[in-house]
Amino acid sequence: MELPRAENSAARLRYVAEAVSTNDSLAALAADPDEPTLSVFLTLSQTAGRGRLGRSWIAPPGKTLAVSVLIRPLLPSGEPVGIENLGWLPLLAGTAMTRAIDALVGHARTTLKWPNDVLIDGRKVCGILAELLPSGNGVIIGAGVNLTLGEDDLPVPTATSLALAGVAGAGTGAAGAELVDAVLGGYLEFLAELLGRFLAGGADARGSGILSEVARVCSTLGQDVRVELPGGTTLTGVAKALDASGRLEVLSGANGEIQAVAAGDVTHLRYE
């Protein structure tokens, strides 16, 4: 598959006709410390993609993009980014994907649902799953994008696709290389740019301007939300802001206090 724009932004790019999970394939390659940051692994036929908390990502063959990117988050000093700031990586990826898709769909219909979903008109077009390598020296960011699914292909009624959003060149057959390169090339370009700024700024999301870049595309902010926490507790309130670690600050309707929730602590985030 010819993907000139994506090739240009990736340190290394591997395309396979089919994969079980691109995150697993890239994690295996990343056990080699020479596998570079911004190494990319993709397929249009992923047979057992994962969502968060063991949920599955459903992808009819040939119609969705599954792409994983290796990030070795090192500061200019060579020090690794602290664990408290790693939560920004999936948010950077989500912001990059939101921008890439918005460039195709237009009219600011594409937004980021904190922490890991990209929505078009409120329906999910892309899910993102970040996984820390067992060695700790890298993070794999996987993204599944619904490219050419028609109404009958949608795995859940809350999903959508680029074809259904009316993107030119996205019919409901197998996805072509040009469409893949437009999405993937845009994603990798924005991701490299945001990541570069974040790392150059010492992983200080506020100081580097990354926090406001994420907040600008994040439709969760200002919404009434219901957050299901592990153990069955529910927090309802208004999503107010992102804190310095990328956690969502919710103004609780019950006690008027701000409670920060981390992605890993959220079972489900629903809009009221």
Binding to ligand ATP by residue 155, rule CB under 6 A? yes
CB atoms within 10 A of CB 21: 21
With CB under 6 A as the contact rule, which of the stretches 4-12, 25-33, 52-60, 174-182 interacts with ligand ATP?
A: 52-60
How big is the chain, counted in residues?
272
Among 13, 40, 44, 59, binds ligand ATP (CB under 6 A): 59
Classify 104 as helix, strand or coil: helix
Q: What angle do CA 144, 147, 152 make, to 5 degrees?
A: 105
- Asked whether 216 and 263 are in contact (CB, 8 A), the reply is no
Shortest distance in whole angstroms from residue 79 CB to ligand ATP: 30
Helix then strand count (H, E) for the chain reads 5, 14
Shortest distance in whole angstroms from residue 96 CB to ligand ATP: 17
Q: Where are the alpha helices (DSSP H) in 106-204?
A: 177-200
Binding to ligand ATP by residue 127, rule CB under 6 A? yes
Shortest distance in whole angstroms from residue 146 CB to ligand ATP: 5
Q: Which of 23/116 has CB closer to ligand ATP? A: 116
Q: CA-to-CA distance for 17 and 159, rounded, in angstroms?
A: 24
Judge if the upstream peptide bond of residue 115 is cis by omega within 30 degrees of 0: yes
DSSP 106: -
Site track for ligand ATP across 104-123, x = CB under 6 A: ------------xx------
Among 24, 35, 45, 51, binds ligand ATP (CB under 6 A): 51
Binding to ligand ATP by residue 93, rule CB under 6 A? no
Classify 269 as helix, strand or coil: strand
Residue nearest ligand ATP by beta-carbon distance? 51
Contacts of 119 (CB under 8 A, 6+ apart): 110, 111, 112, 113, 125, 219
Q: CA-to-CA distance for 245 and 238, rounded, in angstroms?
A: 19
With CB under 6 A as the contact rule, which of the stretches 50-58, 211-219, 236-244, 247-255 interacts with ligand ATP?
A: 50-58
Binding to ligand ATP by residue 55, rule CB under 6 A? yes
Binding to ligand ATP by residue 156, rule CB under 6 A? yes
With CB under 6 A as the contact rule, which of the stretches 6-14, 53-61, 207-215, 249-257 interacts with ligand ATP?
A: 53-61
Shortest distance in whole angstroms from residue 100 CB to ligand ATP: 17
- Asked whether 213 and 224 are in contact (CB, 8 A), the reply is no
Give residues in contact with ligand ATP (CB under 6 A).
51-53, 55, 57-59, 116-117, 124, 127, 144, 146, 155-156, 159, 268
